[in-house]
Amino acid sequence: MSKLKETPVRTLAVALVMCLVCSIAVSAAALILRPAQQENALVDRQRAVLEIAELWQPGMSSDEVREVFASRVTPRLVDLRTGEYSDAFDPHTFDQNKSVADGSLASPIPEDKDIASIRRLEHYAVVYQIEQNGELERLVLPVRGYGLWSTMYGFVALQSDLETVAGIGFYQHGETPGLGGEIDNPNWQAKWVGKKVYQDGEPTLRVIKGSVNPQSPQADYQVDAIAGATLTGNGVTHMIHFWLGEDGFAPFLKKLSAGEA
């Protein structure tokens, strides 16, 4: 049998078929892996919540994270426009970060108010309540803000007085390893515990330049800088001021404290 004659058209056709086959294979693999990737992202967020709520233990498996989260943490949906709880969506499945891109679920932030450089504010946020014997122990709030190179996504935990920091942690960012990336350092995160957020009703807590002077009357509202990461530290400060301010969770915290949320 004679060999089929090679022609530019035949070569191009074979190449196109191979590209089509590879494209289908890649698309199929992405479709198959997507649920697992989404589940892993969910577990990562749950682990971050457990860590700053001091409910996480080193070596916990994904199943254990899910189990502890389900038994100790109560997600609640908050309407940021009213500062009240909402039943508009299921807080267990609502994707707050994804909702930012939805024109019906988020609004542009005026430039003069966008101190965290996030551009858009979602209408709904999921908060996490840790309770013991029916009493609120900690409240975990989702926060995000721009650092030097990236948007930093994390959580801030407040003690039951809703003014004292119980913990802070990040689950996604692109800050420089060894510099701004030190926001993940447990030693730096520990410096936040016990700090006060509000002074005269305004969010005052900030990352300062250098180290906090424990004798300063402002010491309770200050956190040590990260060496060589001034802009990242500024970004964290702006993030705290935005999300715990009037455009973020402050209206909700006031109503929750008064039993009106």
pLDDT at 57: 87
pLDDT at 40: 75
Between CA 169 and CA 36 the distance in angstroms is 24
Closest CA to 243 of 111, 135, 155, 147: 155
Does the pTM exceed 0.95? no
* pLDDT greater than 90 at residue 31: no
Q: At what angle do helices 8-52 and 62-72 cross, to 10 degrees?
A: 50
Check if the beta carbon of residue 50 is closer than 8 Å to that of residue 56: yes
Between CA 142 and CA 49 the distance in angstroms is 9
Amino acid making up residue 56: W
User: Over the stretch 190-243, which tens digit does the pLDDT of each residue have?
Assistant: 999 999 999 999 999 999 999 999 999 999 999 999 999 999 999 999 999 999
Q: Which of 41-45, 58-62, 134-138 has the lowest mean pLDDT?
A: 41-45
Check if the beta carbon of residue 121 is closer than 8 Å to that of residue 246: no
Q: Which of 4-18, 138-152, 234-248 has the lowest mean pLDDT?
A: 4-18
Share of the chain above pLDDT 90, in %: 75
Amino acid making up residue 189: Q
